[in-house]
Chain A
Amino acid sequence: MTAEGIPGKNVATGKFDQNLAGRYRMDKIFAAAAWGATIVAVLILAWLLLTILMDGIGTLNLNFLDSFPSRKPERAGIKAALFGTLWLMCIVAAFSFPIGVGAAIYLEEFSDDNWFTRLVEINIGNLAGVPSIIYGLLGLAVFVRILEPITGGRSVLSGGLTLALLILPVIIVATREALRAVPNSIRLAGFALGANKWQVISHHVLPSAMPGILTGVILALSRAIGETAPLIAIGAVAFIRSTPDSLQSSFTAMPIQIYNWVGRPQADFHHIAASGIIVLMIMLLLMNAIAIYFRNRFQQTR
């Protein structure tokens, strides 16, 4: 710390607070506040999870998983949304995984420190801070409107591409960290044996970075399937009575379906919204568990 702060304080003027008991009392209050804040955060999480469990567990059954949306809450189900989300996940993974990993390999392994690399780096930092709904507007203008002949308008492909762009910065950052964690001695050993850069990357660097990369990709995917706003912006509709059968089908997704049910006035729809949330949270939990499994394996092998 700088010395400028001291003249304004009591220390320099000799009014040092010697009331040690009082200072210790303040200490206790402060520690209690810090613990209190942490406990409050945990309690809120517990409150959130408990409310949803209690609201939704009653209407969660196989019938709910296997039915299409309906105007009658007791008949409505989440099948269309579940399949929509699975389709979205495959499309997002198919695009964002190769592009994100390729971009990260370029930045970390191939490029020199030139203007292009620096531009991409600054750019990725900024893209990560752009609100998700803005990506939705981009998807609406580009994928739904301009590329309509390819994507089929408000289709599952448009949704997947929008979400892929959204999580690209996350995947690039995670992949770069995983690549950076690979010891340089592995690269040097490869070069010493006469391998060129790509051979070293594809045979040695990528395999040993793969658990870390997969962790990042799965976490990014779990973020993508929880996103609602960009999908609403590109015009995904909640009332669809079929599962997608091609990339150009119209679609719905779990968060959209949940949003639609929460927004209705009848309490019965709120219960099935909670059931939908339980299904969504279980999916996210599974994905996180897989990511944590990869992370732990990664840390053990190093």
Chain B
Amino acid sequence: MTAELPVNEIAPGTWRPNRSRSKTIELIIKVICGAFAAISILTTIGIIGTLIFETFAFFGDLPLELSKDDQSVSFFQGILHFLTAGRWTPLFASKQFGIGVLISATLMITFISLAVALPLGLLAAICLSEYASAKVRRILKPVLEILAGVPTVVYGYFALLTVTPFFQWLLGPLENALPWWPQLEGFNALSAGIVLGVMITPMVASLSEDAIYSVPQSLRDGAYALGTTKRETVWSVVLPAALSGIVSSLILAMSRAVGETMIVTLAAGANPTLGFNPFVPVMTMTAFIVQVTAGDAPYGTIAYKTLFVVGMTLFLITLALNVFSFWFVRRFRQKYD
């Protein structure tokens, strides 16, 4: 602020600000800002509304689509088919809509990614908060931030063109030596899952690090006074105390992995198969959405509606994970002060 008070122009005592005008302006601004805040609610309504609308339209059309081949199908048989059928072929002439196919692939890749991110992220978090000096911390945290800021399409490139060939080279001798060892195909869930794990590692590390760092020093001092070593302190005092934060970071990372799109679309392929074989191409929920939208699904077709059904399933899974994570933190958070 510059001091531009009109001291010399106005005689003392005659300064009368226009209070009613500034009050009106304040009210207008307040209403506009409130409307902007309401946009976030409108977004949620928009998301849920479109998903529900098209989902209902899908289940309305489903019996008709299924009864083309054989006898007529009721509404509930349609839902049963959606939940239990073992094939996912909405773009073929003979259409089948077993969402389980897409869910199995999504779950498999998510668990592979967690198997990478859990040890890597948690150990990195322990290292940063317990072992690293302040100086090293200042260098390592930005590195993790860079890792978190890399666009996912870049990870997709890395998974498809670097990691898969690397694993093929690594596992080649095994394939030759053991006749039953499966061949790693060009598109596979393994590389996609591992690179996805690398992508969510910074998230696990930084959220867990926050939780571990906020455990009070007095707990560590108490443990040392009882004669424990550093590892025993970390393992049996610090980690249990930070457990709620660590678990919630893992669940959030899992939700992120379930909804991740580009890595799985590029590296895991587009072949809807039921099962948990990480060596062959699979198709996740997100990859299906990309496949259909990239190929321009005309409005009103069953393919267009399947987009939103898959989106709804994805939305419900991630929402459940996010809500569970919030609940977990609230329920199990330890307060020390």
Interface-side segment among A66-74, A136-144, A243-251: A136-144
Contacts of A30 in B (CB 8 A): 231, 234-235
Counting CB contacts under 8 A, is A90 at the interface? no
Counting CB contacts under 8 A, is B252 at the interface? yes
A217-249 interface bits toward B, Cβ cutoff 8 Å, 1 = contact, 0 = none? 000001100111100111100000000000000
Q: Which residue of A lies closest to B261 (CB)?
A: A229
The interface on chain B, measured as residues whose beta carbon lies within 8 A of the other chain's beta carbons, has a size of: 96
Counting CB contacts under 8 A, is A296 at the interface? no
- A41 touching B160 by the CB < 8 A rule? no
- A31 touching B149 by the CB < 8 A rule? no
- B153 touching A228 by the CB < 8 A rule? yes
- A198 touching B22 by the CB < 8 A rule? yes
Contacts of B235 in A (CB 8 A): 30
Contacts of B37 in A (CB 8 A): 102-103, 106-107, 111, 116-117, 120
Count A/B pairs, Cβ under 8 Å: 259
Interface-side segment among B62-70, B74-82, B312-320: B312-320
In the bound assembly, the distance between CA atoms of A229 and B299 in angstroms comes to 19
Contacts of B132 in A (CB 8 A): 38
Would you give the shortest CB distance from A288 to chain B, in whole angstroms? Answer: 7
- A134 touching B259 by the CB < 8 A rule? yes
Counting CB contacts under 8 A, is A123 at the interface? yes
- A129 touching B261 by the CB < 8 A rule? no
- B153 touching A103 by the CB < 8 A rule? no
Counting CB contacts under 8 A, is A277 at the interface? yes
Counting CB contacts under 8 A, is B250 at the interface? no
Interface-side segment among B6-14, B47-55, B93-101, B173-181: B47-55
- A138 touching B149 by the CB < 8 A rule? no
Contacts of A286 in B (CB 8 A): none
Counting CB contacts under 8 A, is B225 at the interface? no
- B266 touching A229 by the CB < 8 A rule? no
- B318 touching A131 by the CB < 8 A rule? yes
A127 contacts which of B43, B155, B256, B296 (Cβ < 8 Å)?
B43
- B127 touching A35 by the CB < 8 A rule? yes
In the bound assembly, the distance between CA atoms of A176 and B143 in angstroms comes to 26
Give the interface SS of chain A, mostly helix, strand, loop or mixed.
helix
Counting CB contacts under 8 A, is B169 at the interface? no
Contacts of B40 in A (CB 8 A): 103, 120, 123-124, 127, 168-169, 172
- B47 touching A284 by the CB < 8 A rule? no
Knowing A35-B127, A141-B50 touch, does A1 contact B237 (C-beta < 8 A)? yes
B214-252 interface bits toward A, Cβ cutoff 8 Å, 1 = contact, 0 = none? 000000000000000111101101001100000000001
- A228 touching B22 by the CB < 8 A rule? no
Interface-side segment among B26-34, B83-91, B107-115, B271-279: B26-34
- A23 touching B266 by the CB < 8 A rule? no
- B33 touching A255 by the CB < 8 A rule? no
Contacts of A213 in B (CB 8 A): none
Q: Which residue of B lies closest to A47 (CB)?
A: B162
Please list the 10 inter-chain residue pairs (A to B) with the smallest Cβ-Cβ separation, ordered nearest first: A131-B259, A226-B151, A37-B123, A106-B33, A102-B36, A229-B261, A34-B127, A129-B322, A141-B50, A198-B26
Residues in B lying within 8 Å of A, measured CB to CB = 1, 17, 19, 22-23, 25-26, 29-30, 32-34, 36-41, 43-44, 46-47, 50-51, 54, 119-124, 126-128, 130-132, 140, 143-144, 146-147, 149-158, 160-162, 198, 201-202, 205, 229-232, 234-235, 237, 240-241, 252, 255-256, 258-262, 265-266, 286, 289-290, 293-294, 296, 299, 307-308, 311, 314-315, 318-319, 321-323, 326
Q: Could you list some 16 contacts between A and B, CB below 8 A?
A: A26-B229, A30-B235, A41-B120, A41-B147, A42-B143, A48-B154, A106-B30, A106-B33, A123-B44, A124-B40, A127-B43, A131-B318, A133-B311, A138-B50, A145-B299, A168-B40
